[in-house]
Chains A and B, each alone.
Chain A
């Protein structure tokens, strides 16, 4: 079902598609790009959860990955580089009945938007954040990203990267995220489950997705990951154990874990915000009619 068809049928009064599907905009990613697997997994997760498409709001930043909202039939906002999380946060605070998903790339979320990343996690708004981590700047044609590994030769680092990559999982654990996971765009079913569980989770969910850029990253390829990945679900790891989660977060090399690192229950920001106790802001009346007593404080 497409975005425009959705609206058309709404106009014509016909039955509306209940869940999010593909839009009439075809993805413009390079053939073989990892992000195809991510959009498929998001679609799959939203179908599983059967959330009406008009109640889903997907916000992205700028980058190849950030084009994702255009390819699905929900509401979307394709914002500016690095600002997906604050835009998503504002929308969630305005209408917390929405299912709000933020998406983007590793540069978008861990680089230029890094400050928002940390603060969004300690804030614990009920937002699911999906980062398509290809360890490179795709859209700008292959410069180093905050997750590019030491020694990686890119257009901006012809002699190799000489700073340590960010560890998004460890950072998320330290910053207080209440759902911390990593998926792989080569395993859509597993990724779809991680995303669905992240959406169901009350609070901020991180889904870091190893999503290869087949054009500009010749190191971290599908094969690279297929040889190294293993699933936490089959291991002895207990996702309620923060210390164990930190240990698993340090694993990167011959073996790389994917799955749920950590999940905990903490009140969400919107639950603690007094102005939202009567329901979503969009449902509340505004204005100061009849509130002339406010002037008394100025006498």
Chain B
């Protein structure tokens, strides 16, 4: 359906076959030849066996999502061929090793062909481990996709560079055999790319961008408990912790993780924790403590399919209400939801800035799709010029009558001091307190001065919510102004919407996209303006109850009746959004 060069390579097999490494390498064929790429990883909560696949999409224009079609399918087993071959586009191929399984030609879609490659046989020349045969497939696919063998040599060298020379040589030899084998017998697929389109691009996951964004913002402390799809935030940080001077603490549980981060932030370093819904649920009480003690804190919640353990390796946007409501009582919070890797980097930096400026927790909502999938990007997407102010080196401002850590101010923001700084001793507390931090929750509670103090403290903290709202940017309206239809989405759903938008607007329709990447506090006026000026709307969300729709109705009174909701754990494909949008455009009414 796209009018520009666009190519989909999918590889599938069982866990343990090395599918993710193959898939990532295919994505790099694109980025190293200067194309945009998107790498979708589909795996299961098993370490061996099962069915896993990886889709690498290359594109001459920005690849916002995994797209809609397969041109080269590399099937490690029959199950992969059965599941994915029906989605082969015209001119596409199914690459398989006939020694593993045979696939009847009459089960192939019209206009596609089989490309048998004796990969196991080729690898046996070098080693008995069947894992090596993947390189033969890689060689074959490099040719079928239109790329020179040299690109693959570079990728293999990087993949195996740290291993023994012998291993690299085996892989290079097998890959070359695969490449030559198909070159002698086959032609590239119809949509094959021409090489060397431009400067090589980066290939990065959302979690890597988040971790790097945190470090760029000055984060020096990450406490985390492993949970898919948030764990790779910790992996990137841990890999770089010692050289960057960041303490990465794997905690005994999420309760410890968030409380450690609060302790570190209170003591004067920028701190973060990252988790998924189950772990975030455990963090709820401490989140309120960060609000009450006015401790800056960034919490990454990378959502997966719920409820409960749900589908641990699948995507959803089901935690919005949880994030909005986490914690007893009212306290100010912000929720940011970046839509792509570049936004993930910048939103994380923004989260730290907001947390620090307003001394309150900020949630960064990601999801499996953004966190674990790969996207191409340019170096300029990740500027590293920011110099975070040195918190502990700053002398706290003096306040009348002693140090008023919770001094009433017009903005609600009070002066901070850190343990160790001379002359500012105070006690912070999760109980309600006065300006000095003294409890008003026990012997003073219910006595008139304390009643008034409680009201003032509440208002002081909540003023920060209005301050944040004013400081935050309004959501972007992407695409043409005065559209016939406005699509509304948040977070990583933006990817498939942006791809769909390109398609929808290619036939003269006018569709635009209200991307809510700053979910809370809601810029109610700006959101309302964007929505009342459009004839039709379509809400696209990956959850059952249209949670963003509910928030928008609550904050603006505007109902978004046309909805495309998905809760099967699978990513949005641009085509399903296009189809639904066309339906809405064609229908009468709003």
- Which residues from chain A sit less than 8 Å from chain B, CB to CB? 3-11, 16, 23, 25, 28, 52-57, 59, 62, 67, 69-70, 73-80, 82-83, 85-95, 97-98, 115-116, 118-119, 273-276, 278, 281-292, 294-295, 298-299
Q: Which of B432-489 contact A (CB under 8 A)?
A: 436, 438-439, 442-443
- Which residues from chain B sit less than 8 Å from chain A, CB to CB? 31-32, 200, 202-204, 208, 212, 215-221, 223, 240-242, 244-249, 251-253, 255-257, 259-271, 285-286, 289, 293, 377, 379, 382, 384-388, 390-392, 398-399, 401-403, 418-431, 436, 438-439, 442-443
Would you give 10 A-B contacts (Cβ < 8 Å), ordered by A? Answer: A3-B427, A25-B439, A75-B425, A83-B286, A87-B260, A90-B266, A98-B419, A115-B256, A118-B252, A287-B216
The interface residues of chain A lying within 8 Å CB-to-CB of B388 are 285-287
Give the distance in Å from the alpha carbon of A187 to the alpha carbon of B234 in the complex.
47
The interface residues of chain B lying within 8 Å CB-to-CB of A299 are 31-32, 200, 202-203
Inter-chain contact A273/B252, CB cutoff 8 Å: no
Inter-chain contact B240/A90, CB cutoff 8 Å: no
Inter-chain contact B386/A90, CB cutoff 8 Å: no
Query: Which of B270, B285, B398 interacts with A11 by CB under 8 Å?
Result: B398
Give the distance in Å from the alpha carbon of A274 to the alpha carbon of B382 in the complex.
27
Inter-chain contact A59/B263, CB cutoff 8 Å: yes
Inter-chain contact A286/B220, CB cutoff 8 Å: yes
CB distance from B419 to the nearest CB of A (A): 4
Closest to B212 in A: A294
Give the distance in Å from the alpha carbon of A285 to the alpha carbon of B393 in the complex.
10
Inter-chain contact B386/A275, CB cutoff 8 Å: no
CB distance from B447 to the nearest CB of A (A): 14
Known: A97-B420, A282-B267, A282-B269. A83 touches B204 (CB 8 A): no
Inter-chain contact A90/B271, CB cutoff 8 Å: yes
Known: A281-B269, A288-B212. A93 touches B247 (CB 8 A): yes
The interface residues of chain B lying within 8 Å CB-to-CB of A283 are 392
Q: Which of A11, A28, A74, A90 has the most CB of B within 10 A?
A: A90
The interface residues of chain A, by DSSP majority, are classed as helix
Inter-chain contact A290/B384, CB cutoff 8 Å: yes
The interface residues of chain A lying within 8 Å CB-to-CB of B256 are 83, 85-86, 89, 115-116, 119
Inter-chain contact A77/B266, CB cutoff 8 Å: yes
Query: Which of A57, A80, A94, A287 interacts with B430 by CB under 8 Å?
Result: A80
Inter-chain contact B221/A6, CB cutoff 8 Å: no
Give the distance in Å from the alpha carbon of A198 to the alpha carbon of B279 in the complex.
34
9 further contact pairs, Cβ within 8 A, besides A57-B419, A299-B200: A3-B436, A4-B403, A10-B403, A11-B423, A86-B251, A94-B265, A275-B246, A285-B388, A291-B384
The interface residues of chain A lying within 8 Å CB-to-CB of B221 are 90, 93-94, 281
Known: A83-B286, A90-B221. A7 touches B425 (CB 8 A): yes
CB distance from A6 to the nearest CB of B (A): 5
Q: Which of B402, B431, B438 has the most CB of A within 10 A?
A: B402
The interface residues of chain B lying within 8 Å CB-to-CB of A25 are 438-439
Give the distance in Å from the alpha carbon of A122 to the alpha carbon of B266 in the complex.
24
Query: Which of B215, B420, B426 interacts with A287 by CB under 8 Å?
Result: B215
Closest to A273 in B: B247
Inter-chain contact B427/A95, CB cutoff 8 Å: no
Inter-chain contact A62/B430, CB cutoff 8 Å: yes
CB distance from B20 to the nearest CB of A (A): 16
Closest to A122 in B: B252
Give the distance in Å from the alpha carbon of A76 to the alpha carbon of B417 in the complex.
12
Give the distance in Å from the alpha carbon of A278 to the alpha carbon of B271 in the complex.
19
Give the distance in Å from the alpha carbon of A86 to the alpha carbon of B258 in the complex.
8
Query: Which of A8, A80, A90, A119 interacts with B267 by CB under 8 Å?
Result: A90
Inter-chain contact A94/B202, CB cutoff 8 Å: no
Give the distance in Å from the alpha carbon of A278 to the alpha carbon of B263 in the complex.
21
The interface residues of chain A lying within 8 Å CB-to-CB of B262 are 79, 87, 90
Give the distance in Å from the alpha carbon of A28 to the alpha carbon of B217 in the complex.
43
Query: Which of A54, A118, A290 interacts with B423 by CB under 8 Å?
Result: A54
Give the distance in Å from the alpha carbon of A75 to the alpha carbon of B429 in the complex.
11
Give the distance in Å from the alpha carbon of A294 to the alpha carbon of B249 in the complex.
21
Query: Which of B216, B223, B270, B390 interacts with A288 by CB under 8 Å?
Result: B216
Task: Please provide the 4 A-B residue pairs with the shortest distance between their CB atoms, ordered closest to farther.
Answer: A10-B423, A90-B263, A4-B402, A76-B427
Q: Which of B268, B386, B419, B430 has the most CB of A within 10 A?
A: B419
Inter-chain contact A292/B384, CB cutoff 8 Å: yes
Closest to B223 in A: A90
Inter-chain contact B259/A83, CB cutoff 8 Å: yes
Closest to A64 in B: B442
The interface residues of chain A lying within 8 Å CB-to-CB of B423 are 6-7, 9-11, 16, 54
Query: Which of B203, B259, B267 interacts with A298 by CB under 8 Å?
Result: B203
Inter-chain contact A289/B387, CB cutoff 8 Å: yes
Query: Which of B216, B242, B384, B425 interacts with A275 by CB under 8 Å?
Result: B242
The interface residues of chain B lying within 8 Å CB-to-CB of A274 are 241-242
Give the distance in Å from the alpha carbon of A116 to the alpha carbon of B385 in the complex.
39
Known: A7-B402, A287-B387, A289-B387. A91 touches B426 (CB 8 A): no
Closest to B263 in A: A90
CB distance from B234 to the nearest CB of A (A): 14
Inter-chain contact A295/B379, CB cutoff 8 Å: yes
Give the distance in Å from the alpha carbon of A147 to the alpha carbon of B396 in the complex.
43
The interface residues of chain A lying within 8 Å CB-to-CB of B420 are 54-55, 57, 75, 95, 97-98, 282
CB distance from A113 to the nearest CB of B (A): 9
Give the distance in Å from the alpha carbon of A210 to the alpha carbon of B31 in the complex.
66
Inter-chain contact B245/A275, CB cutoff 8 Å: yes
Give the distance in Å from the alpha carbon of A276 to the alpha carbon of B249 in the complex.
12
Inter-chain contact B428/A282, CB cutoff 8 Å: no
CB distance from B552 to the nearest CB of A (A): 33
The interface residues of chain B lying within 8 Å CB-to-CB of A278 are 245
CB distance from A91 to the nearest CB of B (A): 4
CB distance from A292 to the nearest CB of B (A): 5
Give the distance in Å from the alpha carbon of A87 to the alpha carbon of B286 in the complex.
10
CB distance from A27 to the nearest CB of B (A): 10
Inter-chain contact A3/B426, CB cutoff 8 Å: yes
Known: A54-B425, A57-B419, A119-B252. A94 touches B402 (CB 8 A): no
Inter-chain contact B286/A282, CB cutoff 8 Å: no
Inter-chain contact A93/B419, CB cutoff 8 Å: no
Give the distance in Å from the alpha carbon of A89 to the alpha carbon of B264 in the complex.
8
Give the distance in Å from the alpha carbon of A73 to the alpha carbon of B427 in the complex.
9
Q: Which of A52, A59, A62, A299 has the most CB of B within 10 A?
A: A299
The interface residues of chain B lying within 8 Å CB-to-CB of A16 are 422-423
Give the distance in Å from the alpha carbon of A9 to the alpha carbon of B438 in the complex.
19
The interface residues of chain A lying within 8 Å CB-to-CB of B270 are 286
Inter-chain contact B424/A93, CB cutoff 8 Å: no
Known: A70-B427, A80-B430, A89-B263. A275 touches B241 (CB 8 A): yes
The interface residues of chain B lying within 8 Å CB-to-CB of A287 are 215-218, 384, 386-388
Give the distance in Å from the alpha carbon of A155 to the alpha carbon of B292 in the complex.
31
Give the distance in Å from the alpha carbon of A119 to the alpha carbon of B260 in the complex.
13
Known: A79-B430, A275-B246. A284 touches B220 (CB 8 A): yes
The interface residues of chain B lying within 8 Å CB-to-CB of A119 are 251-252, 256
The interface residues of chain A lying within 8 Å CB-to-CB of B257 are 86
Inter-chain contact A284/B245, CB cutoff 8 Å: yes
The interface residues of chain A lying within 8 Å CB-to-CB of B387 are 287, 289
Closest to B341 in A: A298
Closest to A20 in B: B425
Inter-chain contact A281/B247, CB cutoff 8 Å: yes
Inter-chain contact A91/B419, CB cutoff 8 Å: yes
Inter-chain contact B392/A282, CB cutoff 8 Å: yes
Inter-chain contact B428/A78, CB cutoff 8 Å: yes
Inter-chain contact A95/B268, CB cutoff 8 Å: yes
Q: Which of A74, A94, A115, A289 has the most CB of B within 10 A?
A: A94
